[in-house]
Amino acid sequence: MTRVVVTGAAGFIGSNIVQGLNARGIDDIICVDDLTQGDKFRNLADARIADYVDADLFYDAFADGHFGQVEAVFHEGACSDTMETDGKYMMDNNYTLSCGLYAACQQRGARLLYASSAATYGGSDTFREDPAFERPLNVYGWSKLLFDQRLRREIGAGFGGAAHQVAGFRYFNVYGPREQHKGRMASVAFHQFHQFREHGKVRLFGEYGGYGPGEQQRDFVFVDDVVAVNLWFFDHPQARGLYNLGSGRAQPFNDVATAVVSALTGTAHTAASAAAAGLIEYVPFPDALRGKYQCYTQADLTALRAAGCDHAFADVATGVARYMAALQAS
């Protein structure tokens, strides 16, 4: 039986990976997380797993071989709050812990599939897995970048020097089910769903960075697609390296708002028609985000495609409609 570990298993992407593994009939899963925020348990309540281990206890025990032969570790556990200013906390969680886990995986013969982040690009306008374009704007982005750099230095740019598969994924703007615990860090689609339910309209930032109201663009990627790519690498142990994981398509926040409003009203809208109907409200750009905000992201998928992964990603209209249906059903 295939035994796998998922860290951050009660979190957004981790719990969706657990669901993806379950859908394949894999349930010998050791779930690792910190349930100080107790309501995160809901993300695992419908999952089939072998064990749950607190994050404070897992890493040393894994390094000591306590869990037997593990095929792969999906390492999703991290502090992902881009507004977190405690650099020591961020580095302990996102860098030091990951370095130890990598060493333990190599020693124990486990493959490591881990979450990096598009925040490593920060102020760049080119999103390709190359140090020339890595300019993090906050300590979160730097903590993720430093681990990527550490692996490049130890096992080469393509991670080919490792005895066992290592692959990192630079997630872009992920949205979808099981993110309800994330608070302010939940996706714009999640927040807009609740804004519309409460106020009958959704809010977007006004003009900023040379972009008109709601026209800042991000690469929005549906969580089902993120799971599919992780599982593709699980199926292809020879595939190694650092990869962007986005849709490869930049779309304005207006597209998300339009998809949300259209799904919840049952009427097809454009951004202009929704704004005219009072269904979209533009608010001033917050001072706290000035200079720390990516106005444009678009994953370069050249490396992913070259690795052989030809997964077709959902666009915003398709993915958000599916997400709204799931939220309405929950």
- What percent helix, strand, coil does the chain show, rounded to 5? 45, 20, 40
Active-site residue flag, 293: no
Helix (H), strand (E), coil (C) string for 65-125: CCCCCCCEEEECCCCCCCCCCCHHHHHHHHHHHHHHHHHHHHHHCCEEEEEEEHHHCECCC
- 8-state DSSP, 160: T
Active-site residue flag, 52: no
d(CA 205, CA 63): 46
Which residue in the block uniquely carries the two structure tokens 């020879």? Answer: 238
Cβ burial, residue 73 (10 Å; 0-12/13-18/19+): buried
* Amino acid, single-letter form, for residue 303: A
Q: Which of 182, 201, 208, 211 is catalytic?
A: 182
Decide: 79 and 89 in contact? Cβ < 8 Å: yes
Token pair of 90 as six digits: 């961020």
Ramachandran angles phi, psi of 161, nearest 5°? -85, 0
3-class SS of residue 310? coil
Return the closest-CA partner of residue 70 out of 148, 6, 162, 161: 6
Q: Which of 95, 140, 171, 175 is catalytic?
A: 140
In angstroms, what is the C-alpha Rg of the chain? 20
Token pair of 242 as six digits: 């650092």
H helix intervals, the chain: 12-23, 55-63, 87-91, 97-108, 139-155, 188-199, 223-235, 253-265, 271-276, 302-306, 316-329
Which residue in the block uniquely carries the two structure tokens 């107790």? Answer: 38
Q: Which residues are part of the catalytic machinery?
A: 140, 182
